[in-house]
């Protein structure tokens, strides 16, 4: 199966390690054996964390952009609704799925737009867009991809602004810089061979100092202090 997926990841943190601004979104193409992306579209977003579910609409649009370039068998969206097809997800069916009240209300706000995108994907490409979320390996790979791109976007911001930032990374992963690439490797059990990377075309990595730290207030999360090196 050729699977297209998308996610948003990494957040600028304040001094108390609270997430403030979501940094990047990415869509990915993932093929067997489903360990890394084979194609990537990424964008800086620097959007307030509280804007929440709105970002999923943008992720769906990024999937469409990738789908316009290459063939896929299915689209995996980062919504955990047991893998139902978004096109079939009426407000009535949503009420039957076990979701929290707040979660359901947030989904209802974006559902018309998501269903329109899903209908378009079905009509043009003949494939489904599934709300599979946490169960999907391609969604995890999209998260690691958005995270590695976010590191470069944040480095560029640090170089431009001359101010250090603390970047909160996706859950359970660790960054590794190798030449002009920044890898983000999963640390989740049984994901030891799952990773993604971003290419530093702007050579921002050379102009900053990276220091990894654990997030003391959120077990499983790491952060990267990014400082300018004048």
Q: Footprint of its own copies on this chain (CB under 8 A)?
A: 1, 3, 15-17, 30, 32-35, 76, 83, 132, 134-138, 140, 171-174, 187-192, 194, 211-222
Of the pair 47, 147, the CB lying nearest its own copies is at 147
Shortest spacing between CB 197 and its own copies, in angstroms = 18
Residue with tokens 């791109």: 149
Long-range contacts made by residues 85-90, C-beta under 8 angstroms, separation at least 24?
A: 85/118, 85/128, 85/129, 85/130, 85/131, 86/114, 86/115, 86/117, 86/118, 86/128, 86/129, 86/130, 86/131, 87/115, 87/118, 87/119, 87/122, 87/128, 87/129, 89/114, 89/115, 89/131
Of the pair 48, 212, the CB lying nearest its own copies is at 212
CA atoms within a 13 Å half-sphere pointing along the CA-CB vector of 160: 7
Shortest spacing between CB 70 and its own copies, in angstroms = 17
Of the pair 19, 45, the CB lying nearest its own copies is at 19
Of the pair 109, 192, the CB lying nearest its own copies is at 192
Shortest spacing between CB 31 and its own copies, in angstroms = 9
Shortest spacing between CB 203 and its own copies, in angstroms = 26
Please choose, from the candidates 44, 28, 38, 36, the residue with its C-alpha nearest in 3D space to the C-alpha of residue 78.
28
Of the pair 95, 188, the CB lying nearest its own copies is at 188
Within its chain, how far is the Cα of 2 from the centroid?
Answer: 18
Shortest spacing between CB 112 and its own copies, in angstroms = 26
Residue with tokens 């090196």: 229
């Amino acid at each position: 199966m050729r699977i297209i997926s998308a996610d948003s990841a990494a957040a600028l943190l304040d001094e108390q390690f609270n997430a403030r601004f979501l940094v990047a979104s990415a869509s990915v193409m993932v093929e067997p054996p489903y360990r890394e992306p084979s194609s990537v579209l990424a964008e800086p977003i620097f959007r307030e964390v509280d804007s929440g579910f709105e970002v999923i609409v943008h992720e769906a649009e990024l999937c469409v952009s990738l789908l316009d370039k290459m063939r896929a068998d299915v689209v995996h969206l980062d919504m955990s609704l047991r893998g139902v097809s978004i096109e079939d997800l009426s407000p009535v069916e949503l009420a039957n799925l076990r979701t929290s009240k707040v979660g359901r209300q947030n989904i209802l706000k974006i559902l018309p737009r998501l269903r329109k995108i899903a209908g378009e994907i079905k009509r043009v490409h003949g494939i489904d867009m599934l709300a599979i979320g946490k169960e999907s390996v391609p969604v995890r790979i999209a998260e690691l991809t958005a995270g590695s791109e976010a590191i470069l976007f944040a480095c560029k911001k640090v170089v431009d602004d001359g101010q250090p930032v603390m970047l909160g990374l996706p859950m359970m992963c660790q960054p590794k810089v190798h030449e002009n690439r920044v890898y983000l490797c999963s640390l989740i059990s049984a994901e030891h061979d799952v990773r993604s990377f971003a290419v530093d075309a702007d050579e921002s990595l050379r102009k900053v100092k990276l220091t990894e730290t654990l997030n003391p207030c959120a077990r499983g999360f790491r952060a990267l202090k990014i400082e300018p090196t004048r």
